[in-house]
Amino acid sequence: MEHHVDERKSACATGANQGGSVSHLLPKEIQQQIERHPCYSKQAHQYARMHLPVAPACNIQCNYCNRKYDCSNESRPGVVSHLVDPHGALKQFRAIKKRAPNLTVVGIAGPGDALANPKATFSALKLIREADPTAQLCISTNGLMLAEYASELAAHGVHHLTITINTIDPHVAAKIYPWVYYDHQRLRGLAAAERLISNQLAGLEAAAKLGMLVKVNTVLIPGINDQHIAALSDAVKARGALLHNIMPLISAAEHGTYFGMTGQRGPTEAELTNARNASGQFMAQMTHCQQCRADAVGTLGGCGSEASDDTPATADKLVRVAVATNGEPLLSTHFGHARQFEIYQFDQASGQFYLLERRQVAQYCSGASECPEEENDKQALFNTISDCQIVLSARIGISPWRTLEQMGVTPNVDFAYQAISDALQRLARQQQPSQPQESNDEVCHY
């Protein structure tokens, strides 16, 4: 959605200020391990990652999250949007891997908490690992159950772990977490805060000892945890965390979160920079995170998302193709029914399409009864793919067809019910220039 794309841009801009990479602060061996992981390294942008939404349940409540809607702070799509079971996840993985050979990283980040759904999480990890032993597996968690499952995670080959820790001060945490579910009880207030923090720190320590690369995410909430960042960074570093990713609070009132409803604002650029500097005394900072959702697929942008801004939609050279899909390997989705678009970018050097990302859309039409009349919704749908030159779908209505054409996006239904990978190959062949073209931008294909 539009909102999503905007975040990408702003995240890119903040990343760009920070220059090259965080890795000069890390030992060489670890640098090598993270350099192919797009969530850890800015240099890893040509590698794609995929998050499998297999973990719906959560065991804590954060004041920046509303379980009814998509959460923009944690990596959470709405609980109901795209849940898959572990076998469905494997299918998705296989389908994407076929079309995106650059897919190296597979993670579980929600939509709830990976470790509040241990069965689904571990069974998905096992299936993916069997299907592709080279896939790098990663997990995001709030840390409540991490100490309990750290060794099982290691045994399943999980190498990269992200824990969201917002503070190590229980009085501060009590303002962020109204309750946690632990040991069959709903704890509230300070009891909840103390339990969560001690479990997070114990889990972090256990995971680091097992050799996992641990990144800590912190949502920066001005007036609440912004004065406590150095202490937090010091404490997590001491327990073996490698990277710190401080993200700005997103708290629009319409998300219906506690912070949204109470008018809690997000940090300014200056507050964010101060916090990152405070943490930077202790730990390497990660600044290119785009707060990706639990069902995110794709590369983290970088060069590509900047370049796209100056690519005119009318360019005669095809760059991007949007594929309307609800997750099937065949091109069987009606344009108006697409819940998401997979965006593929043509790579001149290899003559192939690579998966750039998957974009969610508000549905334009879900049957006669519940067609949203809002012009905004339709506009959001079109905006989702306005930077693409071709959009593939099984079918499309005449009026969206005209709108797309006016935007310079060509609708194409020639490949209806064929495999998406075949369609992309055929399009790629049409892209091959008769003579090899000079390209000055080998560094940034996308």
Binding-site ranges for other proteins (CB under 8 A): 56-59, 61, 63, 66-68, 78-80, 83, 112, 116-117, 119, 178-179, 181, 184-186, 253-254, 256, 258, 261
DSSP secondary structure string for all residues of 98-135: HH-TTEEEEEE--BS-GGGSHHHHHHHHHHHHHH-TTP
Q: Which is nearer to other proteins, 69 or 446 (CB)?
A: 69
In angstroms, the CA 437 to CA 430 distance is 15
Residue 253 CB, nearest approach to other proteins (Å): 8
| C-alpha to C-alpha distance for 319 and 387, rounded to whole angstroms | 9
Residue 148: which H helix or E strand, with range? helix 146-155
- Report the alpha-carbon distance of residue 33 to residue 40 in Å, rounded: 10
Distance between CA atoms of residues 190 and 128, nearest Å:
39
Closest approach, Cβ 262 to other proteins, in A, equals 8
> Could you tell me the smallest distance in angstroms from the CB atom of residue 63 to other proteins?
8
**Closest separation between CB of residue 83 and other proteins, Å?**
8
The residue ranges of DSSP E strands in 224-361, in sequence order, are 243-248, 284-285, 297-298, 320-325, 340-347, 352-360
| Distance in Å, CB of 259 to other proteins, minimum | 10
Q: How many residues does the chain have?
A: 446
Phi, psi torsion values for 336, nearest 5 degrees? -70, -10
Cβ pair 232, 167 in contact under 8 A: yes
Q: What are phi and psi of 179, to 5 degrees?
A: -160, 160
Q: What is the CA radius of gyration of the chain?
A: 22
CB of 182 to other proteins, least distance (A): 10
Q: Which is nearer to other proteins, 98 or 119 (CB)?
A: 119
Q: Which residue reads 């990144």 in tokens?
A: 215
Q: Are the C-beta atoms of 409 and 391 separated by less than 8 Å?
A: yes
Cβ proximity to other proteins: between 110 and 400 the closer is: 110
Least Cα distance to 2 among 252, 287, 319, 268 occurs for 252
Using the minimum distance from each CB to other proteins, give the nearer residue, 57 or 230. Answer: 57
Please identify, using beta-carbon distances, which residue of 48 and 176 lies nearer to other proteins: 176
Q: CB nearer to other proteins: give 224 or 356.
A: 224
**How near is the Cβ of 142 to other proteins at its closest, in Å?**
13
Indicate the SS3 state at residue 351. coil
Give the shortest CB-188-to-other proteins separation in angstroms: 9
CB of 117 to other proteins, least distance (A): 7
Q: Which is nearer to other proteins, 28 or 184 (CB)?
A: 184
Using alpha carbons, select from 208, 112, 122 the residue that is nearest to residue 159: 208
Q: Which is nearer to other proteins, 92 or 117 (CB)?
A: 117
Closest CB to other proteins among residues 68, 426: 68
